[in-house]
Structure 1
């Protein structure tokens, strides 16, 4: 049974060109299902030894077990979606005769409006690194301006390479894979901050001359998602923004502020 899981994960990586984070989530979700099935026996004491042994009742019991463990409804929905995709893949490739999730209803998820902060708070946050003069502060200014100007996802931002940046055209190419890459225009502030970082900030952080990562940490390595979150958290504290702010907050604020300026939903 684990063989089919690994085959599916390989499919996500190679055929779908899914991101490492997506594959890791599927690996965790399907591994959790496998562990549950390994310890499962029906009313007659029969164990589950193949994927063909799995039926709708077993999957429903599994979903109930997730709820019993107090997972958030959004987490349960994600895990169910992963399981349904996995079984659909096995049906398509002839690994199983019947899809036990075909009639499984997807859990309802409570929808919450995305958290945003005001123009004024964004402005204070963007100006925070300018009070210092160091390679790190120039990096922080460039990444905050880029994050807000483009609405880029956190993973996209930290995965940027130097070659993704086109200063002459004023844009940056981002995306998890070649098929899903897009060009994001930079505004004047982001371009100015990026130029300063590339000329005076990044040279003070780079350790290996052939390092391709655009945003570097103090060790000269690619900045991580966690590193970006800590940077934002530090500046939020410095400028006394009382509301919780994460990289996703800036992303949602970017979209909200665009809409408030009259941009269409398609543009956003």
Structure 2
């Protein structure tokens, strides 16, 4: 059902399978199966997960999978009850997304340039880095969406980019002039490869791997004077969203640009803004220093 009706990605299917296997193994120890599980049996499984040191976020995600599973069995008439209905989900820790400042993003883009005397290989690597970072930051793409872009995505003078996201959902995102120019420069440089991808790998018939891009991002980060540990494609996506919100973007528009199915996912960026506002007040309000923890500001 997940594959056929919801077009779930392979990684999602693998995660669901792992969750079901984990639950089945725990139930087996108390003489139950997934089809005969009781609420107490499922509670024992959750206790096992916690005893293994798994985070509350992971336990909550796994429980969500099991709840969906039993709802499916109930709707299909394979069970007459839902043993997961009254299980309490642990409150997950609210981890705010990491992002770069606007000046750090500019430093990262500037670091893509290579001097005139650089080798052809280094200059090409710089073209790849510039095009990838411009697109990630200007459009908020996921790394999987970026690397899957076809070469024809930038054909002509297009101002919008068609992106196929999670679950096969398509969306249009606007292209900045600098992102379009950087991508077209790469297309021109790679014209002899006849690759179907905008970012070809060593084998032009295949797309660049995530690992290959991570190495490029690591090197550019070092040149920009940034700690590579702070950098990832998703950090650039978070930076895109945070900076748009800072400059007045509407949350619904941001949801569409990011390709979030649920606006609740997008709302985490409002928490980022709240934290930033607290910091601004703590640093710049004339009475902040006298308020101790800032609770009276």
**Which interval holds the TM-score relative to the shorter structure?**
0.7 to 0.9
CA distance in 2, matches of 1:167, 1:54: 58
Q: What is the TM-score when the length of structure 2 is the normalising length?
A: 0.76
Partner of 1:14: helix, strand, or coil? Answer: coil
Equivalences, count: 246
- The farther-off stretch of 171-180 and 107-116 is 171-180
Q: Does structure 1 residue 234 correspond to structure 2 residue 219? A: yes
1:81 maps to: 64
CA distance in 2, matches of 1:130, 1:159: 24
2:147 maps to: 158
Give the drift of 1:71. Answer: 1.2
1:176 maps to: 165
Give the drift of 1:145. Answer: 0.5
1:24 maps to: 14
1:213 maps to: 197
2:252 maps to: 266
* 8 Å CA contact 1:77, 1:107 repeated in 2: yes
* 8 Å CA contact 2:131, 2:183 repeated in 1: yes
Residues 56, 178 of structure 1: alpha-carbon distance in 2 compared, 3 angstrom cutoff: closer
* 8 Å CA contact 2:143, 2:233 repeated in 1: yes
Give the drift of 1:67. Answer: 0.9
* 8 Å CA contact 1:91, 1:99 repeated in 2: yes
Q: How large is the Cα RMSD of the aligned pairs?
A: 2.0
Where does 1:1-268 land on structure 2 (aligned, <5 Å)?
Answer: 11-38=1-28, 40-41=29-30, 47-49=31-33, 51-131=34-114, 134-176=123-165, 180-200=169-189, 202-203=190-191, 206=193, 209=194, 211-220=195-204, 221-242=206-227, 244-268=230-254
* 8 Å CA contact 2:8, 2:167 repeated in 1: no
